[in-house]
Structure formats: structure tokens, C-alpha cells
């Protein structure tokens, strides 16, 4: 898709857990080549919103469209195949496996073969292709030197970037990143922001959940702020920074 073209359209998305409304009539859009930040206090519904988009959870009501087609009824594997990749709030790398092998798992899930069948049943040629694709993504995020190290031996900041490489190996048009900067030191956050900025330069679209205002302010094109499952505000970083409702609800809380 060309830069600026509509990519994701979330309309009146709602998710209830029993009596709790975790996401309440959320509306927002993401265009191709845009980095959008999803901001909000703990429990606001950000991860639930991600899970609705990626198909980990089914919406109670509402519609989610990707490139004009409804995806809200599709299984997560199909949503992945259509071009939405994601990372999770907590690191999910296999620490004993190498960076390359961890990223190869991402490349593999694109081939739509059950993970159980994974490495075992692959012939040599298929495995070589996976490794080649994984290496390409690792180079893309600047971790080529660490490719053969166990993932668990890397710093937390590097592990987060490995997770992004693994998501990239599914060949997404839109990346969903759930708090990738949480717990990182300042320099690690800078390194992460550089990777994301470079991906945007290549035309990638990103929806990034974040807690740290300063980190997103300098990175994103637009912000959507949630509180109590609802959209509280939406706008440019500077607009959000000066929005009284956001200041009260988010920064005051």
C-alpha cells in the first residue's frame, strides 16, 4: 500500500469480560507508513485492543477492517497471514535458542505449518530458506553480530528488538508492539526508537502501546489515548501533550 493509504480501521470495537467492559466503542484508523501510539494508564484496555486486532480475542461487537476487509471474525493465524504482525507485553523468546532460531520461528509461522510440525519435518532446503529469511530480518534491525548467541544472553533491550525481528519475519504491513520500551534503559530506548524510525522509513506501519510519554512523543506521528476502555483523545503528540483531559486522567493518575 502507498504511504498514507488507509490500512487499519477500528469501528465501535467493544470487548466485555463478563460484566467488565475492557474496550468500549473504540474508533481509530492507521494509515500506511504511520507510527501511531496507543497510550493510557494501566488497565485502560490497550492490550485487549491489541488482542482484538490480532485475533487473539473475539470482539463482543464492532468491526475491524484491514485493507478494506473485515478481519474481526478471522482466526489469528489468518490475520497474521494478511499482514498484521505483533509482539506481546512480556518477552516470549526461547532463551536457550539462538537469536537466529528464535527469529526463524517467526519466519516459519508465515508458512502456515503448525509449530508442532516445525523444525522436525522441514527438509533441508526449507530450513535453509527459513534461516536465510531470519538472518535478513536480524540484519534489518541491526543485530547481525549477535545472530548466533543464545537469545537469553542478550540485554533486555536487544531481546525486544529480536522480538520485533521475529514479527518482521512474518512479513507484516502493520506491526503491533505491546510496551516494547517497558523496563528499558535510556540508551536501549533510543536504540529501539532508531529501529522503529528506520522501519517507518521503509514504509512500515506501527501501532505501539506505550506507557512512557517521553519515549512516544519523539517517535510517533499520532497518538490515541485510552482511559477506562474508551478513547479519551486523539491527535498529534503536541496536541496530546497539551490536552487538559489527558493531563488530568493520564499524567495526574
Q: Which residues bind ligand ADP (CB under 6 A)?
A: 17, 20, 22, 40, 42-48
CB of 20 or CB of 113, closer to ligand ADP: 20
Q: Which of 18, 90, 92, 25 is nearest to 52 (CA)?
A: 25
Residue with nearest beta carbon to Mg ion = 47
Asked if residue 47 binds Mg ion (CB under 5 A), the reply is yes
Query: Which one of ligand ADP, Mg ion, none is in contact with 106 (Cβ closer than 5 to 8 A by kind)?
Result: none
Q: How many Cα atoms within 13 Å fall on the side-chain side of residue 178?
A: 19
DSSP element (H, E) containing 234? strand 230-235
Q: Which of 195, 223, 245, 192 is nearest to 38 (CA)?
A: 223
CB of 134 or CB of 224, closer to Mg ion: 224
The helix/strand/coil state of 28 is: strand
The helix/strand/coil state of 31 is: strand
Query: Which one of ligand ADP, Mg ion, none is in contact with 22 (Cβ closer than 5 to 8 A by kind)?
Result: ligand ADP
CB of 30 or CB of 154, closer to ligand ADP: 30
DSSP element (H, E) containing 246? helix 244-246
- Least Å distance between CB 115 and ligand ADP? 22
From residue 23, give the alpha-carbon distance in Å to each of 14, 56, 121, 216: 5, 14, 41, 22
CB of 184 or CB of 191, closer to ligand ADP: 184
CB of 195 or CB of 224, closer to ligand ADP: 224
- Least Å distance between CB 245 and Mg ion? 21
61-66 vs 6-17, strand pairing mode: antiparallel
Q: How many residues line the site for Mg ion (CB under 5 A)?
A: 2
Query: Which one of ligand ADP, Mg ion, none is in contact with 48 (Cβ closer than 5 to 8 A by kind)?
Result: ligand ADP
Angstrom distance (rounded) from CA 136 to CA 134: 5
CB of 20 or CB of 144, closer to ligand ADP: 20
Query: Which one of Mg ion, ligand ADP, none is in contact with 2 (Cβ closer than 5 to 8 A by kind)?
Result: none
- Least Å distance between CB 128 and Mg ion? 38
Angstrom distance (rounded) from CA 37 to CA 234: 10
Residues forming contacts to Mg ion in the complex (CB under 5 A) are: 46-47
Amino acid at each position: 500500500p502507498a504511504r498514507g493509504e488507509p490500512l487499519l480501521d477500528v469501528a465501535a470495537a467493544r470487548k466485555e469480560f463478563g460484566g467488565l467492559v475492557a474496550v468500549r466503542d473504540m474508533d481509530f484508523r492507521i494509515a500506511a507508513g504511520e507510527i501511531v501510539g496507543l497510550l493510557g494508564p494501566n488497565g485502560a484496555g490497550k492490550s485487549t485492543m491489541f488482542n482484538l486486532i490480532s485475533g487473539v480475542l473475539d470482539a463482543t461487537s464492532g468491526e475491524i477492517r484491514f485493507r478494506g476487509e473485515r478481519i474481526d471474525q478471522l482466526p489469528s493465524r489468518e490475520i497474521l497471514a494478511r499482514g498484521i504482525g505483533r509482539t506481546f507485553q512480556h518477552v516470549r523468546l526461547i532463551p536457550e535458542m539462538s537469536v537466529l532460531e528464535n527469529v526463524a520461528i517467526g519466519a516459519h509461522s508465515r508458512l502456515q505449518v503448525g509449530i508442532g510440525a516445525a523444525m522436525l519435518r522441514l527438509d533441508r532446503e526449507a530450513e535453509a530458506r527459513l534461516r536465510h529469511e531470519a538472518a535478513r530480518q536480524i540484519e534489518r534491525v541491526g543485530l547481525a553480530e549477535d545472530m548466533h548467541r543464545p537469545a537469553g544472553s542478550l540485554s533486555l533491550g536487544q531481546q525486544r528488538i529480536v522480538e520485533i525481528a521475529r514479527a518482521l519475519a512474518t512479513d507484516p504491513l502493520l506491526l503491533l508492539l505491546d510496551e516494547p520500551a517497558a523496563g528499558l534503559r535510556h540508551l536501549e530506548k533510543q536504540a529501539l526508537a532508531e529501529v522503529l524510525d528506520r522501519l517507518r522509513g521503509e514504509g512500515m506501519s506501527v501501532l505501539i502501546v506505550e506507557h512512557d510519554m517521553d519515549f512516544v512523543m519523539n517517535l510517533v506521528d499520532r497518538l490515541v489515548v485510552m482511559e477506562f476502555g474508551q478513547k479519551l483523545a486523539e491527535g498529534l503528540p503536541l496536541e496530546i501533550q497539551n490536552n487538559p483531559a489527558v493531563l488530568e486522567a493520564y499524567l495526574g493518575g
